[in-house]
Structure 1
Amino acid sequence: MEKSVMDLPEILKEQFGGETADIRTYSPLVLAYIGDGIYDLVIRTLIVRHGSCQPNKLHKRTSALVKASAQSEMIDKLMESLTEEELAVYKRGRNAKSYTMAKNATMKDYRKATGFEALMGYLYLKGETERLVSLVREGLGDTWAEEKKEEDRA
């Protein structure tokens, strides 16, 4: 069976060896760090799957979905769907004291986005990629439909 980038933690372990630390002990900011990257990759993949276009259009479409305010809205939509474990990871990320902040975000949106990214990182490292993608799909909901309409008009 072909492996995908979502299997990357397993592939890295196979290729480089070693044991992975217990992800429950990771700093929420470390989870957010990897979660930011994997969420960005998921969104970029969704955007690119709909066809080739100019890189600046790809960037604009991606940026609209990965910015802190969009992630903040997404986690609001997902709160009812999160398990207790997922909610705890989100809250740890949201409450983590970061010394930086996104330039075009409120502190509230930035913290919620950090919690969302921590959850994405946790699910990814835990190998629960189907759950991760399912939450992204649910969170995008109408936003994704609107993006598709804009894309079709362009």
Structure 2
Amino acid sequence: MDEATQQQDFRQLNGIALAYLGDAVYEVFIRRHLIDEGLTRPNQLQHKATRYVSAKAQAGLIKLMEADDLLTDEEWYFYKRGRNAKSYTHAKNTSVVTYRVSTGFEALFGYLSLSGQDERFQELAQWCIKQVQAGRVEYAK
């Protein structure tokens, strides 16, 4: 499959499919970061990872991205595709609004991954890590 066909394919995916991938690749990035930081115990890893990958954390990070004017118009477009997508699953331990915002966050990372924007993916994921570590993230209700 050539690059143009791949570009077209990810643009045709619905927001939930983008979020499905984005959830996985962002979480792997965070898990690797935590292991690189020297965390090795499963309970410790899970507890720390939640600060980055929970729906509440992701919703807080999107608010910061907006406040810091961090995303391009195209990135906002894919975020909104995920946020507005019809989901047949429901939120666990969070509001529907927070769940939808976090789905948009995940769709953004799915888009970056599928479109081959690895440098931008890493830039945004590292930015997210810095925001959590700096205590800037307000965890949505």
Question: How far off its partner does 1:54 sit?
Answer: 1.4
The answer to whether structure 1 residue 91 and structure 2 residue 80 are counterparts is yes
Note the aligned Cα RMSD (angstroms).
Answer: 1.6
Match of 2:14 in 1: 27
The answer to whether structure 1 residue 129 and structure 2 residue 123 are counterparts is no
Which deviations, in whole Å up to 9, do the C-alpha atoms of 1:45-66 show, x marking residues without a partner? 1100011431111111112211
Match of 2:93 in 1: 104
Q: What pairs up with 1:5-154 in 2 under 5 angstroms? A: 20=6, 22-79=9-66, 80-145=69-134
- Whole-angstrom distance in 1 between the partners of 2:104 and 2:128: 14
Query: Which letter does structure 2 place at the counterpart of 1:62?
Result: A
Which stretches of structure 1, 4 residues or more, deviate above 3 A after TM superposition?
Answer: none
- Whole-angstrom distance in 2 between the partners of 1:38 and 1:144: 20
Between the two proteins, the alignment pairs up a number of residues equal to 129
Tell whether the 8 Å contact from 1:23 to 1:125 is kept in structure 2 after alignment. Answer: yes
Higher helix share: 1
Report percent identity of matched pairs: 42
Partner secondary structure for residue 22 of structure 1: helix
Tell whether the 8 Å contact from 1:43 to 1:65 is kept in structure 2 after alignment. Answer: yes
Unpaired segments ≥5 residues, structure 1: 1-12, 14-18, 147-154
- Whole-angstrom distance in 1 between the partners of 2:80 and 2:50: 24
- Whole-angstrom distance in 1 between the partners of 2:93 and 2:47: 15
Q: Which has the higher contact order (CA 8 A, sep 6+)?
A: 2
Query: Which letter does structure 1 place at the counterpart of 2:107?
Result: A
Match of 2:138 in 1: none
- Whole-angstrom distance in 2 between the partners of 1:143 and 1:135: 12
Partner secondary structure for residue 101 of structure 1: coil
Tell whether the 8 Å contact from 2:19 to 2:106 is kept in structure 1 after alignment. Answer: yes
Unpaired segments ≥5 residues, structure 2: 136-141
Query: Which letter does structure 1 place at the counterpart of 2:98?
Result: D
Which is higher, the Rg of structure 1 or of structure 2? Answer: 1
